[in-house]
Structure 1
Amino acid sequence: MLVLATGQAWRRRSVVSDNGLVRSVERVTAVLELLSARRQPLRLGEIAQELDIPKSTVHGLLHTLAAQDLVRRDEEQRYRISIRLFSLAATALGFEDLRDVARPAMRELSESTRGTASLAVLDGHDVVYLEKVEDRSSLVQVVTQVGTRVPAHINALGKALVGALPPGERERWVDAHTFTQVTGSTVGDPEAFRAQLAAQDRLGYAVNDQELHPAVTAWAAPVRGHGGQVVAALSLAHLGSPPSADQMHELGVRVRDAAARVSEVLQSG
């Protein structure tokens, strides 16, 4: 998620206007800054308490923001910044940036492996694809396109992004997720998924071993921005027969290194 305010800057903004400013706009800004400053979603009552605004007012603000897809509400009635707001902010900053910064590493990864490189973010319990670079010489292409939504547990990008959540949030995510099976290899229950997350914690990359499609093996690693906050994940998808164990690890390391290069550029910018 793109941080729109740093530190506790939101605390310093008065939500009571005495200088001719529009109070509702100030309050909307305060809500968005609070949500962006917190790494975990917040409930309506928590937002009202933090900003000292009546719950009824906060409810109206959140209802309007949600209707405009600027905030999202999860199954536990908690609110967070939406992907749409991220996209608007990124465009305003000239930050097609995330995609622009990631594209060279994705292109190099795709060309050197003859695979498909993708960039995605987590939106609730789905992965949303932001960018894709594929090997044009291949006669068979991975069908996912920019904007495609996929349940997070069935691909490497989702596993990398869920694995990067703070521990408590990760546990709540797993508890609330529906583990629908897509292939015979798809992880089918919370404990098996937790085991996969533990393995990727050790390796530094996630693996999708024919869980999305029998012909697809993929690896992914998180991309981190300023302060080490995860802003996306980068993946490589391989079509055809599964690689050997040695190749599996080698390709996972290459994806991890590519994601680290993108992270370095973002953090130095």
Structure 2
Amino acid sequence: MTQETRLVGTDRVLAVLIELAEHPHGVTLDELSRRVDSAKPTVHRALAALRRQRLAIQDGHGRYLLGDEFLRLAFAHHEQRPEHVRIAPALDELCRRFAETVHYAVLDGRDVVYRAKVDPPTGAMRISSVIGGRNPAHATGVGKLLLAERLTSMSEIVDWIGDVPLARPTDHTLTTPADLHAEFEQIRAQGFAVDDQENEPGIACLAVPASSSPSRYRGAISISALAHRTPLSTLIADVETIRAIVARGSDRPEEED
């Protein structure tokens, strides 16, 4: 971290909070100071502020962790989001139907953020994604579906990519403006998007809009399947069933808020 970008004040407190989230088993003051590139007394003051609000705790071994109050706030906020409550029936039904992991995700810059996830029953092999986790938008079905709505011309795609090359998680990932432009045109024409092992080897995905009314949801729903267990061709063949389940499970009356 350069002198020009050195953290001060509330930015430092937030940086410490974010860094704590990366250490579920705790982190020492020394390590935390190195990670946020600040002096130990300064980081200690940030930790003291977080501990006063019960957003951080210190265990019996002197390691710092996120506090239960932070987790309570995060989960309470997540559970009360209207989109999360409304989308749950569709996710549950899709998971039962295909016995694969189902996500609800939204676009955030160059990434997608997973807002909800339903896993298949205990005992089945599962996908390692987590609620709140991120993946490159251009490498995922949900991300490409949402980008296709926003980036409708080659120039818009070029501007979106900018000077930072797109990540290439697998050999199948599309990263050039020309490839993405062709892909987005196909997505708009067919109304769904696929990820054919573009984000993770062995994982196939099909994504559809989260609602028939885009103004109600700004996200997408995807079925992320182990390709050897549920081939992408199977998901594509069942796309109308998937759309019907989403419409039935997510397009519910406003009073349910």
| TM-score scaled by length of structure 2 | 0.61
Taking the aligned partners of 2:124 and 2:169, their CA distance within structure 1 comes to 24
Task: Specify the alignment match of 1:184 in structure 2.
Answer: 171
> Contact conserved, 2:92 with 2:118, CA < 8 A, in 1?
yes
Unaligned segments of structure 2, at least 5 residues? 1-9, 15-72
Taking the aligned partners of 1:174 and 1:262, their CA distance within structure 2 comes to 36
Q: What are the within-5 Å matches in structure 2 for residues 31-70 of structure 1?
A: none
State the Cα distance separating 1:199 from its structure 2 match: 1.3
Task: Specify the alignment match of 1:259 in structure 2.
Answer: 246
The one-letter code sitting in structure 1 at the alignment partner of 2:244 is D
State the Cα distance separating 1:264 from its structure 2 match: 2.2
Q: What are the within-5 Å matches in structure 2 for residues 128-147 of structure 1?
A: 128-147=113-132
Taking the aligned partners of 2:101 and 2:142, their CA distance within structure 1 comes to 13
Taking the aligned partners of 2:102 and 2:226, their CA distance within structure 1 comes to 12
Taking the aligned partners of 2:185 and 2:229, their CA distance within structure 1 comes to 22
Q: Deviations over 1:212-239 (max 9, x none)?
A: 1121000111224867464211110111
Greater length-normalized contact order (CA 8 Å, ≥ 6 residues apart)? 2
1:172 equivalent to 2:159? Answer: no
Q: What are the within-5 Å matches in structure 2 for residues 88-237 of structure 1?
A: 91=77, 95-165=80-150, 167=152, 172-173=156-157, 175-177=159-161, 178-224=165-211, 228=215, 230-237=217-224
State the Cα distance separating 1:244 from its structure 2 match: 5.7
> Contact conserved, 2:225 with 2:231, CA < 8 A, in 1?
no
CA distance 1:245–1:180, shift in 2 (3 Å): closer
How high is the sequence identity, in percent, across the aligned residues?
26
Secondary structure in structure 2 of the residue aligned to 1:187: coil
Say what the alpha-carbon RMSD is for the aligned residues.
Answer: 3.5
The one-letter code sitting in structure 1 at the alignment partner of 2:132 is G
Q: Deviations over 1:93-112 (max 9, x none)?
A: x8522111111110110111
Unaligned segments of structure 1, at least 5 residues? 1-63, 69-86
The one-letter code sitting in structure 2 at the alignment partner of 1:126 is D
| TM-score scaled by length of structure 1 | 0.58
Larger Rg: 2
